[in-house]
Structure 1
Amino acid sequence: MKAIRRFTVRTVLPEPLQPLEELVLNLRWSWHPETLELFQSVDPELWEATRHDPMRLLGEVSAERLDALTGDRRFLRALGDAVEELREYVTAPRWYQGLSDVPAAIAYFSPEYGIAAALPQYSGGLGILAGDHLKTASDLGVPIIGVGLLYRHGYFSQSLSAEGWQQEHYPPIDPDGLPLTLLREQDGTAVRVSVGLPDGDRLNAQVWIAGVGRVPLLLLDSNVEENSPASRDVTDRLYGGGTDHRLLQEMLLGIGGVRAIRQFCRVTGHAAPEVFHTNEGHAGFLGLERIREYIDEQGLSFDEALEAARGGTVFTTHTPVPAGIDRFPRELIKKYFGTDNEASSVPSERILALGAETYEEGDPDVFNMAVMGMRLAQRVNGVSVLHGAVSREMFGGLWPGFDTDEVPIGSITNGVHAETWVAPEMVDLVRQQLTGVVEDGEGWDAVARVPEPEIWRIRRALRERLVLDARRRLRESWRQRGASDAELTWIDDVLDPDVLTFGFARRVPSYKRLTLMLRDQERLKSILLDPERPVQIIIAGKAHPADEGGKRLIQDIVRFTDDPAVRHRIVFLPDYDMALGQSLVQGCDVWMNNPLRPLEACGTSGMKAALNGGLNLSIRDGWWDEWSDGNNGWAIPSADRAADPDRRDDVEANALYELIEDHVAALFYDRATDGLPRRWLEMVKHTLTTLGPKVLAGRMLRDYVRDLYAPAAAAGRRLATDEHTAAKSLAAWKLRVAKLWPGVTVEHVESSGATQSPQLGGTLTVRATVELGGLEPSDVAVEVVYGRVGETDTLVDPSYVELTQVENIEGGRLRYAGEVTLDRAGAFGYSVRVVPKHDLFASRAEMGVVALPPAPTGMTNGDLR
């Protein structure tokens, strides 16, 4: 008989052991080796059986063992030291506390978080990045408050059928069995937040808190008695349900998340956030809640509230794939946002305008969450240099009239949290030679001092650990597929700790090309089975439950790995999670990645492998495009311009095979007389030296603080001064400029100073006659845009000089003039434009309007020497 309800009874620890609960409830244990060692010492066998989950460990450890530990003075001393060290860690000043003019707190919203395998609230890279962001914030003392949802069934657990087809399972998750505490009032009652629904109903949620070091992570949970059965299921599964269900999740995350922060700060006394960071568009509705707050609580108009909210908001886009963006029917938005449900002060027509795809080829019938997120944030970034460029192209229609390079979307390349992903043995080795490298990201040049035999010894140990873990997981998978133990003796010889090992793991959308390696199966077999230079590949990945195409790709790879001829050299391991990810990036020699360029936004797994002494073999996409230097791995040539997708796959697969055969394997097996692959180890050292300081999440978060959080806080403060005087003034100014802008024209442009043979270093005087249509000269910047021109007379990488008003002309027109230095040889050109100008702008393109001459005038194309 099945139970009708499931819950977790927490262990009551003996008084001397009660500090264990403090350690368990702070997820810092997930990246702190000393605390993990303490948990292991509670019961080593049970620690392995519970898959290193300290909550389960304490729930299952015997009373006799607990009694024994209460008398174990060595254990109690270690416990006391661990608790004291944790308390010092979460309270002592760190890097951030030495800065000035930074926000008192930052709210960070994400639909998923990968903190630890014991808290299964993530599906892939977005969540892992969010988890690393919070952990690094804790290490650096950045006062972030994380906000997400608590999914009662997480994402899904993956297994395989006998035929190799992905099967999904949604095991129930009891918050009482997780390292969480419930946010409560002083009298002990649970705090509630709610979001308005149509017909006067409310979606209610309680708030769980996960301690991520010194960072609180608030997780909203709709499974409360006040809700209807349908509303209780809103937070049932990550990325689950239909369109209405997904919209409700995102309303709860964004709107309910802001309300949860307000309650959390009220109850705990935590500083209120000055900056709100939206990690992808799922949480975009947080901007609407902040607008409502300004209207209802500060008496601002919608436009004034919009400016007040934008200044302190950061939006990060994570996908270069349009299909990865949430888009809802406009009618659905009208249903859930109107005068009778969520907020009468935030009209649905204004909300719809924020998410409207007003650009060419946009769909007028959809509401785009990323578009809304960008309109509600003054600062927007992608997650690698290439992704920033792709995003400017992808969303450029929101800023019509501006060149792609001027679209106000920057980039901060992702990083990874070393203490989570780097094997303790590698961390210890590096720290022995390079004090402060992992923590501070400095001094990596000294990697040259690390003895090569030590690197090779550790690499071999990590490879062996991965092999043993892969065998265990493979055996479990085959049992789930129906095989008996008697049929699985062959698994004892699967993989070899001394064979070149490739890791390949990811989500399985089609653009990541899980099966590119199968384009020529006979050639792949010959690579795997080479008698002198064999290769082995460990593969993992999940397809979205609704992605039948992705499931077919998994089945194709599984069928290949099931072949008795090669199954000892290539394996597919189901249920890809953080624990398996750690094993893979630590143990593999090469991390392989072959997406369709440029559809990989960043791809941080290769960073993790690099920090563990692995090398990368990848298409030049995401982070690898900017940091591959030819000596820290291998770049797979990309046939970007091939019109036929099959032809492209054939070309790139062939390049992959050639690199493995002629370069990667050849270098790995090229051994000196002492048995060491000297040239391989030189590449490993070079990888650590060049990538170490770049791929750390500490570098990433410092970039966020300096380039986005501090400027956003400064803008928000300025807009809020004197009862939001600046926000009110800016809103009125924008309305006036927008109304009069159609009358702004560039009537005439002329130049002087260029001869028939203009010389490099010479000057060109440009004059423009402009009609401002009722605007004041202080409202605009009249600029000459100049530089090299392409074959179609388009300016390439132009420069800008603001012209000076020199005279008023009859009829209200104005004349502007300025000089341009001819600073580059070759084809040279210029134009003139008028753009709105305000000292509260973060970008000249902020309003998305520009006035240009009606046709090219002035200097003709020619060679400037």
Structure 2
Amino acid sequence: MNSKYSTWHHPYSPVKPYDKKVAYFSMEFGIHQALKIYSGGLGFLAGSHMRSAFELKQNIIGIGVLWKYGYYDQSRNKDKTLRPDFVEKTYNFLEDTGIEVKVSLHGNPNVNVKAYVLKPEIFGSVPLYLLSTDVEGNDYLSKTITDHLYDANETTRISQSIVLGIGGAKVVEALGGADIYHLNEGHALPAFYYLKDKGIKKNQFVFTTHTPEKAGNEERDGHFLNHCGFFGRKLTENELAYETVNDSKINYTVSALRLAKKANAVSKLHAKVSKEMWRDYSNTCSIIPITNAQNQSFWQDEQLKQSWVKKNDKTFFKRKIELKKELFAEVVNQTEKIFDPKVLTIVWARRFAGYKRADLLLYDFERFLKLINNKDYPVQIIWAGKPYPHDKFGIDIFNNLVHISKSYTNLAVLTGYEIELSRKLKLGSDIWLNTPRITREASGTSGMTAAMNGSVNVSINDGWIPEFQKHGKNSFVLPELNHNLPVEDQDKIDAYNLYKILEEEVIPTYYKNPKKWQKIVYKAIDDVIPSFSSHRMADEYYKKLFK
């Protein structure tokens, strides 16, 4: 063991604007394909943040969990439907820091938590301290706490929050403590309670809320959490009553907003939605917008970048064809279908949640068939994404798309949606399709990295899109509708607007006016960089949240 990595250490001296010591707690980090401790957008966001923090020489460390089986490996059954596999991961590039702390769980005061470190030189990020309970001396159940990211068992999920929050806070103490403790979403909430009892002041706590979705704003019975050890000690009935809301529940987001000095939402629109969501709760901190972003050096293809800088249409187009061929090699490998690099390729790829509406294109099936069978303006469509392994609704949508796609040579559903496949899809697509129900997508970042690589966003005007879009100039955006309408009405209106835009604007522009299409592609890259690069975001966190 190299002992210098068991202290707060960077391979550089942090620069002056960024010298404040920040511990960034996140349930998942998408740092690299090989480190499978992420499920989707939250992890991709955290990974880009840690990369930009490293490139900007910021004094940040990441605190996460070393998930033994990751999220899951996305495989197929005999009929090509989704099969979640859980395969043990062994990361020889991680280093044992020698730091081991104890947390109290369900009356057991001696659950051991070991910290491993991902050193900066491995994947170009700030140091990442990853916690594991798969430690000698722990009983069997304790060892399994860090097995599965977002475990389906409620007691295990609570234990994971305690390990990340209190275990993580104790690891930071062992590293010398931090000036700022930043919770990236509410999963690590126990850290705030533990640190508060240790005398850490409110002005050292900041919080990022990532979603208006109920599932992303955990709420659990306060008495049960107290029994589990969630607060770092047993709260009295009066103390517990002060913390609970909604019939003796602890809402992780409400508690974080009350304990933090300041919080941020992840887009300007999300800040408005968040303020409205939490306005009836007393003693919450202010919520400011800091729009999510992605790391340009990690996600943008270098040859596309050079062609964009020089505005060289010929080399840009040539490289795009090469990248489409690389993506289509994956398509033929998985689906036995040969896609044509000259054909307009639409991709829908992201975390497979119901509100994101992966199947919106199929709403009017006759019209969908007309779209995909148009010989004058051919299209190819690829879907990819990981449903939560216990989300029957999301898995049903995925499997239905698999079954339908079998009958058509220009439709494909890909498995293995992780960083590398995400990269291939962004580099090889012409259209990046984004179809959430409006106000439900807090930010969404996949369209940013797609735009960096010449894929044009066709999107609902939600999340980050209102800050970026110029319809017909850098993207194509569906008309906004009233989000209070019944979801059936929203789906019908959005589907018909989507067909109209594709049929009348997007597809004809691609085929009949390639010069205009290339202008849209360049304008999208111009507008996404640097405004939606994570250097801007990492800088804003120091200036607006950590200050």
> By the TM > 0.5 criterion, same fold?
yes
Return the alpha-carbon distance in structure 2 between the equivalents of residues 242 and 259 of structure 1.
Answer: 25
The residue type paired with residue 103 of structure 2 is V
Tell me the equivalent position of 2:447.
606
1:699 to 2:541 alignment = no
* Deviations 1:818-863, CA, capped at 9 Å, x for gaps: xxxxxxxxxxxxxxxxxxxxxxxxxxxxxxxxxxxxxxxxxxxxxx
Residue aligned with 1:694, SS: coil
* Cα displacement (A) at 1:334: 2.4
Deviates more, 1:685-694 or 1:602-611: 685-694
1:281-292 equivalences under 5 Å are 281-292=186-197
* Cα displacement (A) at 1:337: 3.5
In structure 2, which of residues 357, 366, 377 is the aligned counterpart of residue 522 of structure 1?
A: 366
Tell me the equivalent position of 1:380.
263
Return the alpha-carbon distance in structure 2 between the equivalents of residues 391 and 594 of structure 1.
Answer: 21
* Cα displacement (A) at 1:529: 2.3
Q: Is the 8 A contact 2:52 2:125 kept in 1?
A: no
Residue aligned with 2:27, SS: coil
Residue aligned with 1:617, SS: strand
Q: Is the 8 A contact 2:217 2:251 kept in 1?
A: yes
* Cα displacement (A) at 1:603: 0.7
Runs of 5+ in structure 1 lacking a partner?
1-20, 27-89, 185-190, 266-271, 295-307, 358-362, 401-405, 434-448, 476-490, 672-676, 712-865
Q: Is the 8 A contact 2:96 2:117 kept in 1?
A: yes
In structure 1, which of residues 318, 322, 325 is the aligned counterpart of residue 214 of structure 2?
A: 322
* Cα displacement (A) at 1:242: 1.3
* Cα displacement (A) at 1:560: 1.2
Residue correspondences, number: 537
Tell me the equivalent position of 1:107.
23
The residue type paired with residue 518 of structure 2 is L
Q: Is the 8 A contact 1:504 1:591 kept in 2?
A: yes
* Cα displacement (A) at 1:457: 1.8
Q: 1:168/1:352 Cα in 2 relative to 1: closer, same or farther (>3 Å)?
A: farther
Return the alpha-carbon distance in structure 2 between the equivalents of residues 214 and 663 of structure 1.
Answer: 41
Q: 1:199/1:592 Cα in 2 relative to 1: closer, same or farther (>3 Å)?
A: closer
Tell me the equivalent position of 1:437.
none
Return the alpha-carbon distance in structure 2 between the equivalents of residues 333 and 525 of structure 1.
Answer: 51
Return the alpha-carbon distance in structure 2 between the equivalents of residues 198 and 320 of structure 1.
Answer: 30
Q: Is the 8 A contact 1:154 1:237 kept in 2?
A: yes
Return the alpha-carbon distance in structure 1 between the equivalents of residues 286 and 40 of structure 2.
Answer: 27
* Cα displacement (A) at 1:194: 0.9
Q: 1:497/1:224 Cα in 2 relative to 1: closer, same or farther (>3 Å)?
A: same
Q: 1:351/1:380 Cα in 2 relative to 1: closer, same or farther (>3 Å)?
A: farther
The residue type paired with residue 204 of structure 1 is N
The residue type paired with residue 305 of structure 2 is V
The residue type paired with residue 454 of structure 1 is T
Q: Is the 8 A contact 1:287 1:309 kept in 2?
A: no
Tell me the equivalent position of 1:504.
348
The residue type paired with residue 508 of structure 2 is A
* Cα displacement (A) at 1:130: 0.6
Q: Is the 8 A contact 2:432 2:450 kept in 1?
A: yes
Residue aligned with 1:495, SS: coil
Runs of 5+ in structure 2 lacking a partner?
none
In structure 2, which of residues 409, 412, 419 is the aligned counterpart of residue 571 of structure 1?
A: 412
* Cα displacement (A) at 1:549: 0.9
Identity of aligned residues (%): 31
Tell me the equivalent position of 1:595.
436
* Deviations 1:23-67, CA, capped at 9 Å, x for gaps: xxx9xxxxxxxxxxxxxxxxxxxxxxxxxxxxxxxxxxxxxxxxx
Tell me the equivalent position of 1:350.
239
Tell me the equivalent position of 1:650.
492
Tell me the equivalent position of 1:421.
299
Q: Is the 8 A contact 2:20 2:59 kept in 1?
A: yes
Q: Is the 8 A contact 1:533 1:666 kept in 2?
A: yes
The residue type paired with residue 654 of structure 1 is Y
1:81-160 equivalences under 5 Å are 91-92=11-12, 97-99=15-17, 103-160=19-76
* Cα displacement (A) at 1:161: 2.5
The residue type paired with residue 180 of structure 1 is L
Return the alpha-carbon distance in structure 2 between the equivalents of residues 605 and 416 of structure 1.
Answer: 8
Residue aligned with 1:183, SS: strand
* Deviations 1:165-220, CA, capped at 9 Å, x for gaps: 422110011243xx200012xxxxxx311111344532211111012436111111
Q: Is the 8 A contact 1:163 1:555 kept in 2?
A: no
1:217 to 2:122 alignment = no
Q: Is the 8 A contact 1:278 1:315 kept in 2?
A: yes
Return the alpha-carbon distance in structure 2 between the equivalents of residues 645 and 198 of structure 1.
Answer: 41
The residue type paired with residue 528 of structure 1 is I
Return the alpha-carbon distance in structure 1 between the equivalents of residues 480 and 400 of structure 2.
Answer: 23
Q: 1:220/1:347 Cα in 2 relative to 1: closer, same or farther (>3 Å)?
A: farther
Return the alpha-carbon distance in structure 1 between the equivalents of residues 528 and 30 of structure 2.
Answer: 23
Q: 1:342/1:652 Cα in 2 relative to 1: closer, same or farther (>3 Å)?
A: closer
* Deviations 1:262-319, CA, capped at 9 Å, x for gaps: 2234xxxxxx42011100000111111212222xxxxxxxxxxxxx521011100001
Tell me the equivalent position of 2:138.
227
* Cα displacement (A) at 1:627: 1.4
* Deviations 1:528-550, CA, capped at 9 Å, x for gaps: 22111111111101111221111
In structure 2, which of residues 156, 160, 168 is the aligned counterpart of residue 257 of structure 1?
A: 168
Residue aligned with 2:271, SS: helix
Return the alpha-carbon distance in structure 2 between the equivalents of residues 200 and 571 of structure 1.
Answer: 50
1:205 to 2:113 alignment = yes
Residue aligned with 1:539, SS: strand
Tell me the equivalent position of 1:659.
501
Q: Is the 8 A contact 2:439 2:483 kept in 1?
A: no
Q: 1:583/1:214 Cα in 2 relative to 1: closer, same or farther (>3 Å)?
A: closer
Tell me the equivalent position of 1:715.
none
Return the alpha-carbon distance in structure 2 between the equivalents of residues 149 and 352 of structure 1.
Answer: 31
* Cα displacement (A) at 1:351: 5.0
* Cα displacement (A) at 1:114: 0.6
Q: Is the 8 A contact 2:263 2:285 kept in 1?
A: no
Q: Is the 8 A contact 1:141 1:214 kept in 2?
A: no
* Cα displacement (A) at 1:347: 4.9
Return the alpha-carbon distance in structure 2 between the equivalents of residues 645 and 502 of structure 1.
Answer: 25
The residue type paired with residue 429 of structure 1 is S
Q: 1:164/1:522 Cα in 2 relative to 1: closer, same or farther (>3 Å)?
A: farther
Return the alpha-carbon distance in structure 1 between the equivalents of residues 510 and 108 of structure 2.
Answer: 67
Q: Is the 8 A contact 2:166 2:232 kept in 1?
A: no
Q: Is the 8 A contact 2:264 2:545 kept in 1?
A: no
Tell me the equivalent position of 1:239.
150
* Cα displacement (A) at 1:454: 2.1
Tell me the equivalent position of 1:335.
227
Return the alpha-carbon distance in structure 2 between the equivalents of residues 251 and 557 of structure 1.
Answer: 38
Higher Cα Rg: structure 1 or 2?
1
Q: 1:414/1:641 Cα in 2 relative to 1: closer, same or farther (>3 Å)?
A: closer
Return the alpha-carbon distance in structure 2 between the equivalents of residues 107 and 510 of structure 1.
Answer: 33
Tell me the equivalent position of 1:674.
none
Q: 1:91/1:174 Cα in 2 relative to 1: closer, same or farther (>3 Å)?
A: closer
Residue aligned with 2:538, SS: helix
TM-score (norm 2): 0.93
Return the alpha-carbon distance in structure 1 between the equivalents of residues 440 and 501 of structure 2.
Answer: 22
In structure 2, which of residues 247, 251, 274 is the aligned counterpart of residue 368 of structure 1?
A: 251
Residue aligned with 1:333, SS: helix
* Deviations 1:128-150, CA, capped at 9 Å, x for gaps: 11111101100000111100111
Aligned-residue CA RMSD (Å): 2.2
In structure 2, which of residues 294, 305, 311 is the aligned counterpart of residue 450 of structure 1?
A: 311
The residue type paired with residue 505 of structure 2 is H
Residue aligned with 1:498, SS: coil
Tell me the equivalent position of 1:60.
none
